[in-house]
Structures are given as C-alpha cells and as structure tokens.
Amino acid sequence: MEKKIAVLGAGAIGSSVSADLIRAGLNVTVIDQWPAHVEAMKAGGLHVKLKDGDLHFPVRALHLCDLASARLEFDIVLLAAKSNDARWMAEFIKPYLKRDGVLVGVQNGMNDDAIAAIVGRNRALGCVVELQAELFTPGLIQRNTTHQGTWFAVGELDGAYTPRVREIADIMGNVGRCDVTNNIYGAKWTKLIANTMTMGPFGLLGLRNFEAAALHGMFDISVKLGKESFAVGAALGYRVEPVFGLRADEFAGSSDENLVTAMQTLMSHVGGGRTAPIHDHIKGRRSEIEFISGLVAKQGRELGIATPFNDAVTEIDRRINSGEIRMDLSNYERLKALIVTRQQSADG
C-alpha cells in the first residue's frame, strides 16, 4: 500500500524536501502555518530554484486549520519546523499520525526526546539534515545546496537497524545522500557543534556565510565555540560522528581537528548562503539559537562547564529577538567584548 507522507513545516527546508519527494512520485501532503505560502502553493504549485536545475510541481498544500476536515492519516510525518515549534507541532499532528506511523524530526537541535514524549518513543525517529535554502517569496524557494551536496542521517532513538529506518533512508535519498546511523544522538550533537561554530556567530551579523567566516578573528571564535560544545556533549555522553557524508578516516584526528573538519565541510556546502537565524531576523521572527548555542550554555551551567563563547552568542541573539539591537556587523564587536566579559566572570 502506498505510504501517505506529510511534510509538516514547509519553510525552505521542508519545501525543498517536499519538491524532491513529489518528483519521486510519492504521496505527499504539505502542511504549513504561513497562509500566503500555502495559498501560493495551492494556486501555482511549489517552485524550487537550484544551481543544478529548477523543480516546479503541483502540490497538495494545507493550512493548519484545513487538517481538521481533511480526513487524513499519515504513515510518515517529516517534521521540518524550527526547534521553537517542535513541541506544539508534534502535539498538533499526533491525532493524524497512524498508530503504527512514524514522526521524523528533520530539524537542527536536540528535540527527539521531546517529540518522543508526545507521540510515543515507538513512533519517533531522529534525523540530521544538511541542506541550506531560503524562502522569502511565497511559493518560491532558493535552494543553495545542490542534490550532490545535500546529506541526511536517520536513526532509531535506541540505535537499532530496523526496516522502517531503512525505509525512511530510502525516502530521504530522493533529496540527497542519506545514511543510517546507530548513534543518532551523537550525530545530531555533532551537527549542533558545527552549527554553534557557524550558525551561532554568523546569525548575529546578517552577512553571507563566506563573508562572516572571513572576518578577522572569526575562525578562532568558531573553534572555541566548537570546543565548548564538544566538552558539554562529551560530559552528556555523546560520541561525535562523521557527518555531512565524511568517511570515518576523514574524521579520525584529534577532537580539535574534527571540529575544524566538520565546520569547513559545512562551509563548503553553504558558503554562499545566509544562515537560518538571519532569515528569521529579517522576517522579524524569533531565531532558534536558544536551542543551539543556548542549549550548550544551559547544559554547561547545569554541568558546571564554563561556556563564555556560547553564552555571548546566545545573549546577543536574545537582544536581537527582543528588538533591543538590530542584526548587523556592529554585533561582531559586541560579541568579542561580551566574550571577554563572560570569560572574566567565569575566571572570577
């Protein structure tokens, strides 16, 4: 029987995934909370522009409110929303997920346990995603990562190799390379480390990734952000994994070397784009940095591990979210000054 798939959250990532699954002939329903985007998809289909070709398909698109009367149940839900929305969206979709269905968190952050607590641990799978895209015009996506450069890893929360995890890997293989991992928590934390090194500081500035990476002193800041995130993850018991399609032998150096390898590989995939918090700040929305750098800072406090670099990124992002300051290049000086203050506080 043909599986019914819902993509819940049709932002830049969810829409990119949806287009490839539709192209593969799968039964896909796209559900989103932005009314203009849903209406544009209903009227003109979903259009994804890529470096390696355009995708433009009719799509079954639903507003959140449409689902109550749609009489649909799904075998597979791909939750592609920001971490901020993970809990309420899991609650929202729970009645429409079949009893033997599965919800896959196609997200950054460490949301899988929260999702599993809502839908049931037997109905949750983890997913690491490496795909960069932008959505500013309803119905139109600019996907900056090619199919060749797109990478996913999926895994059961208990690490088991099961038929359903292989099925999900086959489905996601229509979007990019997809590996199966028996260490999904370690893989997701490794991606989180890379995100704290790039998404965190770059998202404060409004620059394209390659422009932010070229700033004097940024490389050292990124490495120190990564070292803090690595230390917290190690204390939590997470084992770092080769991510972004790297082989084990490419990820076999010291921890510092692996951090740099992960960051540089990520940058090779997304260097020309702007990181996700920038999109959020441009749109006047709250970014998900509190679930990335903020999670490292929170866990660090609980574990007694100083994280002055992640503390500083989280605080400046909070100020942008609250409207106290604007996202722009001047935040780089704020970041450096606040790091010094937080380091002195940690040392004192």
pLDDT given at position 327: 96
pLDDT given at position 65: 96
pLDDT given at position 242: 64
Q: Which CATH architecture has domain 188-347?
A: Orthogonal Bundle (1.10)
DSSP β-ladder status, 74-79 and 60-63: unpaired
Domain ranges across the chain: 4-182, 188-347
pLDDT given at position 246: 59
In this structure, the number of other CB atoms found within 10 A of the CB of residue 301 comes to: 13
DSSP β-ladder status, 4-8 and 97-106: unpaired
d(CA 38, CA 48): 15
pLDDT given at position 181: 96
Q: Which residue has the tokens 């899988």?
A: 112
- Condensed to tens digits (0 to 9), the pLDDT of residues 241-299 reads 766 665 655 555 556 776 777 777 666 655 567 888 999 999 989 999 999 999 999 99
What does pLDDT average to over the chain?
92
Nearest to 288 by CA among 99, 51, 13: 13
DSSP β-ladder status, 151-156 and 124-130: antiparallel
pLDDT given at position 247: 60
Dihedral angle of Cα 308, 193, 93, 26, to the nearest 10 degrees: 160
Q: Which residue has the tokens 């970041």?
A: 335
Q: Which helix (H) or strand (E) holds 228?
A: helix 218-236
**Beta bridge partners of residue 154, listed in sequence order:** 127, 180
Residues of the chain short of pLDDT 70, as ranges, are 1, 242-255, 258, 265-272, 348
Nearest to 242 by CA among 234, 252, 233, 232: 252
pLDDT given at position 1: 65
13 Cβ contact partners less than 8 Å away, ≥ 6 residues apart: 80, 106, 129, 131, 133
d(CA 145, CA 61): 24
d(CA 313, CA 202): 10
Name the CATH superfamily for 4-182.
Answer: NAD(P)-binding Rossmann-like Domain (3.40.50.720)
Six token digits for residue 259: 């951090």
d(CA 10, CA 138): 10
pLDDT given at position 260: 72
pLDDT given at position 264: 72
d(CA 168, CA 180): 9
